[in-house]
Amino acid sequence: MFKIALCQIKVEDDKYKNLNKAISYIKEAKENKADLVCFGEMFICPYRKSLFKSYAQEEKNSYILNELSIAAKENNIYIVAGSIPEKENDKYYNTSYVFDKQGNIIAKHRKVHLYDVEIDGKITNKESDIFSYGNNITVFDTQYCKIGLSICYDIRFPEIFRIMEQKGAKLIIIPAAFNTITGPMHWDILLKSRAIDNQVYIAGVSCARDCKESYVVYGHSKVIDPLGNTVGSLDEKEGILYSDINLDYISKVRKQLPILNHKRSDLYETKIK
Ligand SMILES: O=C(O)CCC(=O)C(=O)O
Q: What is the 3-state secondary structure (H, E, C) of 147-207?
A: EEECCHHHHHCHHHHHHHHHCCEEEEEEECCCECCHHHHHHHHHHHHHHHHHCCEEEEECC
What is the rounded distance in angstroms from the CA atom of residue 113 to the CA atom of residue 111?
Answer: 6
Active-site annotation holder among 152, 170, 192, 207: 152
265 inside domain: no
Task: Give the number of other Cβ atoms within 10 Å of residue 60's Cβ.
Answer: 7
263 inside domain: no
What is the rounded distance in angstroms from the CA atom of residue 39 to the CA atom of residue 96?
Answer: 9
Radius of gyration of the chain (CA): 18
Tell how far the Cα of 105 is from the centroid of ligand 1, in angstroms: 26
Q: Whose CA is nearest to atom 4 of ligand 1?
A: 178
pLDDT of residue 56: 97
Q: Is 72 helix (H, G, I), strand (E, B) or coil?
A: helix
Sorted by sequence, the CB contacts under 8 Å of residue 211 that are 6+ apart come out as: none
What is the rounded distance in angstroms from the CA atom of residue 20 to the CA atom of residue 26?
Answer: 10
Q: Is 181 exposed, middle or buried (0-12, 13-18, 19+ CB in 10 A)?
A: middle
Q: Please give the ipTM for the structure prediction.
A: 0.98
Q: Do 234 and 220 contact (CB within 8 A), yes or no? A: yes
pLDDT of residue 122: 87
pLDDT of residue 214: 87
pLDDT of residue 245: 98
Q: What is the pLDDT of residues 111-152, one digit of tens each?
A: 999 999 999 888 899 999 999 999 999 999 999 999 999 999
20 inside domain: yes
Q: Do 101 and 124 contact (CB within 8 A), yes or no? A: no
Domains contained in the chain, number: 1
Tell how far the Cα of 270 is from the centroid of ligand 1, in angstroms: 24
116-119 and 123-126 as β-strands: parallel, antiparallel, unpaired?
antiparallel
Residues in the chain with pLDDT < 50?
none
Kindly tell me the sign of the dihedral angle through the C-alpha atoms of 175, 206, 5, 75: positive
pLDDT of residue 123: 87
111 is catalytic: yes
pLDDT of residue 78: 98
Residue 226's CATH number: 3.60.110.10
pTM of the prediction?
0.98
Task: Give the number of other Cβ atoms within 10 Å of residue 255's Cβ.
Answer: 9
Phi/psi of residue 190, nearest 5 degrees: -70, -45
268 inside domain: no
180 inside domain: yes
42 inside domain: yes
2-8 and 239-245 as β-strands: parallel, antiparallel, unpaired?
antiparallel
Tell how far the Cα of 273 is from the centroid of ligand 1, in angstroms: 25
Tell me which residue range forms the domain holding 213.
2-256
273 inside domain: no
Q: Do 174 and 210 contact (CB within 8 A), yes or no? A: no
Phi/psi of residue 113, nearest 5 degrees: -110, 120
- Closest atom, ligand 1, to C-alpha of 179: 7
- Closest atom, ligand 1, to C-alpha of 47: 10
Tell how far the Cα of 177 is from the centroid of ligand 1, in angstroms: 6
Active-site annotation holder among 15, 21, 38, 41: 41
Ligand 1 cavity residues, CB under 6 Å: 41, 115, 152-153, 156, 177-179, 182
Q: Do 198 and 164 contact (CB within 8 A), yes or no? A: yes
The greatest distance separating any two alpha carbons of the chain, rounded to the nearest whole angstrom, comes to 54
Q: Is 34 helix (H, G, I), strand (E, B) or coil?
A: coil
7 is catalytic: no
49 inside domain: yes
Nearest to 131 by CA among 66, 41, 64: 41
